[in-house]
């Protein structure tokens, strides 16, 4: 019986070498392992063996079966390769990239962010970052925003449950933790951790309990700017922002500063933009960012002497800028992941 099995395996090995198609492979499998296959016949003969012979022969049969299964696995790989090769008109080369791989591209918000950062880099600003999950102190108190300010209301700001309270604030006790409502918290972290003078821009995600519509999202992006130095003036603010606007919207773009209020800047402004290249918005004054000179109280809270240091700060909405640059009429397009929309910016 041992000889019989050896000859079955030897024949199978010989025959398998001649197999080239899937049909031939199936026929080969049936000849050996099918209901009337050569190996199956031997297995059926097990019944006539004595009790002592059975385990010995069983082991031999299993070995032969495994060899035939290995042959079949190799045949399947060979046949599949041949099938792919004939479908492609050439032998398959698994190291090649998929022929129809679509080229990816940066998201329009990422592209706008990089463009904005590139403008500010030209003026010596470097990129800084801060956490999206922030303490109430970094987001509000250190920015001179009083406890009863409406922005601190649960209706406007997403607070984390009390179990998330943090000790990461330079004041006694633990602090409430929230999703930052603006990137101005990076101003605070930078002033606390770096020695002036410095100029930073901080891009990042912000969160507010705003109702979602064509111009508002509950999760949006800002780019913050902060320049701390000796004798920073409003002329510097105008110069920096004018440069950025002309780089982004073209040399014909004009800016204007309109008095406004933020607890962390004094004086504070909204900056408006007017440009002849903005489609149906051409020629209209459009509000694009908040800005001002850093309030001396904020410098003090962040450990800088207001007699020595001064600064300018600004914060713009990335989506709003991208919408203006590309003539996009609804902020929700940015988050819908619709390739037809995204491909237009590739
Ligand atoms: C601020 O957030 C200030 N921190 C900006 C600032 C920084 C002022 C430094 C002075 C000095 P405001 O709430 O206006 O300000 O938001 C700034 C910009 O973020 C807005 O002009 C707008 O473009 C964008 N923005 C605000 N809320 C949303 C929202 N829900 N969806 C999309 N963009 C928003």
DSSP conformation letters of 267-324: EEEEEEEE-TTSGGGTTS-EEEEEEEEEPHHHHHHTT--TTT-EEEEEEEEHHHHHHH
Looking at ligand 1, which residue's alpha carbon is closest to its atom 29? 216
Domain chopping of the chain, boundaries: 2-88, 108-130+181-345
- Confidence class for position 206, pLDDT limits 50, 70, 90: very high
Q: What predicted TM-score, i.e. pTM, was given to this entire model?
A: 0.74
Rounded to the nearest whole angstrom, what is the distance from the C-alpha of residue 317 to the centroid of ligand 1? 6
Question: Residue with the nearest Cα to atom 24 of ligand 1?
Answer: 317
Nearest atom of ligand 1 to the alpha carbon of 225: 9
pLDDT tens-place string over residues 108-149: 999 999 999 999 999 999 999 999 999 999 999 999 998 888
Q: Whose CA is nearest to atom 25 of ligand 1?
A: 317
**321 Cβ contact list (under 8 Å, min separation 6):** 112, 116, 248, 288
Residues 6 or more apart whose Cβ sits within 8 Å of residue 300: 306
Q: How many CB atoms lie within 10 A of CB 51?
A: 6
Kindly give the number of the ligand 1 atom that is closest to the alpha carbon of 182.
2
CA angle centred on 180, ends 322 and 173, rounded to 5°: 165
Superfamily for 108-130+181-345? Answer: Bira Bifunctional Protein; Domain 2 (3.30.930.10)
**Number of helices and strands in the chain (H, E):** 11, 9
Task: Pick the residue whose CA is nearest to atom 18 on ligand 1.
Answer: 317
Q: For residue 222, which atom of ligand 1 is closest to its CA?
A: 19
| 8 A C-beta contact, residue 271 and residue 241 | yes
Atom of ligand 1 nearest to the CA of 316: 18
Give the bridge partners for 205, in sequence order: 221
CA 318 to ligand 1 centroid distance, Å: 9
| pLDDT single digits (tens) 44-98 | 888 888 888 888 888 999 999 999 999 999 999 999 888 887 887 777 777 887 7
What lines the ligand 1 site, CB under 6 Å? 182, 184, 208, 210, 216-217, 220, 222, 224, 262, 265, 289-292, 313-315, 317, 319-320
- Tens-digit pLDDT profile for residues 250-298: 999 999 999 999 999 999 999 999 999 898 899 999 999 999 999 999 9
> Do residues 310 and 229 make contact, with C-beta atoms less than 8 angstroms apart?
yes
Which atom of ligand 1 approaches the CA of 268 most closely? 10
């Amino acid at each position: 019986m041992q000889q019989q099995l050896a000859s079955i395996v030897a024949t199978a090995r010989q025959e398998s070498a001649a197999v080239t198609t899937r049909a031939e492979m199936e026929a080969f499998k049936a000849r050996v392992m099918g209901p009337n296959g050569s190996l199956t016949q031997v297995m059926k003969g097990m019944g006539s063996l004595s009790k002592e012979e059975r385990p010995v022969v069983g082991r031999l049969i299993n070995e032969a079966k495994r060899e035939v299964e290995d042959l079949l696995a190799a045949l399947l790989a060979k046949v599949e390769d041949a099938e792919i090769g004939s479908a492609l008109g050439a032998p398959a080369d698994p190291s090649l990239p998929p022929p129809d791989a679509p080229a990816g591209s940066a998201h329009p918000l990422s592209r706008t962010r990089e463009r904005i950062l590139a403008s500010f880099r030209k003026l010596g600003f470097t990129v800084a970052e801060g956490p999206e999950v922030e303490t109430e102190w970094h987001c509000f108190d250190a920015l001179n925003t009083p406890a009863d300010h409406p922005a601190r209301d649960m209706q406007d700001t997403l607070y984390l449950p009390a179990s998330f309270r943090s000790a990461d604030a330079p004041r006694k006790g633990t602090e409430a933790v929230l999703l930052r409502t603006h990137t101005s918290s990076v101003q605070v972290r930078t002033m606390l951790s770096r020695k002036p003078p410095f100029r930073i821009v901080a891009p990042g995600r912000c969160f507010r309990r705003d109702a979602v519509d064509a111009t508002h999202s509950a999760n949006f992006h800002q780019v913050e700017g902060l320049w701390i130095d000796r004798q920073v003036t409003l002329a510097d603010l105008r110069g920096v922002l004018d440069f950025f606007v002309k780089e982004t919207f073209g040399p014909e773009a004009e800016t204007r500063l309109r008095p406004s209020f933020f607890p962390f800047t004094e004086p504070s402004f909204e900056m408006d933009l007017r440009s002849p290249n903005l489609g149906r918005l051409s020629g209209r004054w459009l509000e694009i960012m908040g800005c001002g000179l850093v309030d001396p109280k904020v410098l003090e809270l962040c450990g800088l002497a207001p007699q020595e240091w001064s600064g300018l700060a600004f914060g713009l909405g990335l989506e709003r800028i991208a919408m203006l640059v590309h003539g996009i009429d609804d902020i929700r397009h940015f988050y819908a992941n619709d390739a037809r929309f995204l491909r237009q910016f590739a």
